[in-house]
Amino acid sequence: MFYHVKELQFNARVSKPDPKFARLLLEQFGGANGELKAAMQYFVQAFSVKNPYPDKYDLLMDIATEEFSHLEIVGATIQMLLSGVNGELKNASDESEIMKLLDGQEAKEDFIHEAIINPHFGVLTGGGPALTDSNGIPWTAAYVTANGDLTVDLRSNIASESRAKIVYEYLMKFTDDEYVKETLRFLMTREIAHYQMFEAALATIQPNFPPGILQGDPRYSNTYYNMSSGQDATGPWNQGISTQLGETWQYIEDPLQQVLETEGLTNLAPTGTDRTQKTIKELEKELSKLRSEEIISATAEIDQQWSTYDKFGGIATEL
């Protein structure tokens, strides 16, 4: 159940109309890294985790709903940035406010250029935001990623929050309106908060690496191939201990030689790791049972009644 409160989560304000920045801000309204994408992604992901991970269901639904709040903030800001513009476009008088805003031939040509790049925004939306990106490309469900494995989805969400954060950071460079910057800074900061929430949630699922069930072949999971010549570099990604599996990186200086000597890597023995084909098979068996129970739980008969409607307003006990 959604309950809409007409007050914005954040007090969005603008100091003056700015149709050009309004167009840029569409990127966070209907773009690939925008608020609608985030809201729908977390909303869709939540359904399959309600029974196996009720705490993560709560997290995803809470953040998805907050993302709708952010979509409302972005839409309201776009609307305020367009204040008076659409109506004045219908005013034939050269003394109209839009003509004053576009004072000078260069400014008028810039406005025409913007209209050519994204004509729907200026002509068909009636002076309001549209579910497109800044170039008029319609929003699509293809932006949404939901893989049905919570460890994969949470990593996707961390990446989504990272991309959204950097878009807000870039957008702030294109406006000198302090009120608008204040709003963008709030939205950017919430991306940082959500990143940490998803990261913390992922850490509570153990084991969570590698994503999925099947484990990597120990012959290849810690080899680094020097596949480009010149200015070679070393770091924790190719020397020392690997971050997740705790294996010792094997730096292959001449990948071609190794391929030839091992008949296409088929005769390669595991090196720098305690993992064996036997141990990974045992782990895969354990994880298969665990993840299978999660899927069965997600589609169990309990779903025939989704809610229990606890009249006391507490956490309802599942049937």
Q: How would DSSP label each residue in 147-166?
A: -S-HHHHHHHHHHHHHHHHH
Q: Is 252 helix (H, G, I), strand (E, B) or coil?
A: strand
Provide the pLDDT confidence category of residue 305 given band limits of 50, 70 and 90: confident
Q: Is the peptide bond before 19 cis (omega within 30 degrees of 0)?
A: no
Q: What is the DSSP letter of 31?
A: S
Residue 308: pLDDT band with limits 50, 70, 90: confident
Report whether pLDDT(118) > 80. Answer: no
What pLDDT does residue 65 have?
A: 98
pLDDT at 93 over 50: no
d(CA 98, CA 116): 18
Residue 36 pLDDT level (bands cut at 50, 70, 90): very high
Helix/strand/coil for 238: coil
Res. 99: pLDDT tops 70: no
For range 254-270, the mean pLDDT: 96
Residue 286 is predicted with a pLDDT of 93
Position 25 pLDDT exceeds 90: yes
pLDDT of residue 82: 87
Average pLDDT over residues 285-311: 82
Helix (H) or strand (E) holding 223: strand 223-225
* pTM of structure: 0.86
- pLDDT band with cut points at 50, 70 and 90 for residue 126: low
Greater pLDDT, 64 or 312 = 64
Per-residue pLDDT at 318 exceeds 50: no
Q: Count Cβ atoms within 10 A of the Cβ of residue 63 and give its class: 0-12 exposed, 13-18 middle, 19 or more buried.
A: buried
Using CA atoms, how far residue 104 sits from 107, 116, 232, in Å, is 6, 19, 54
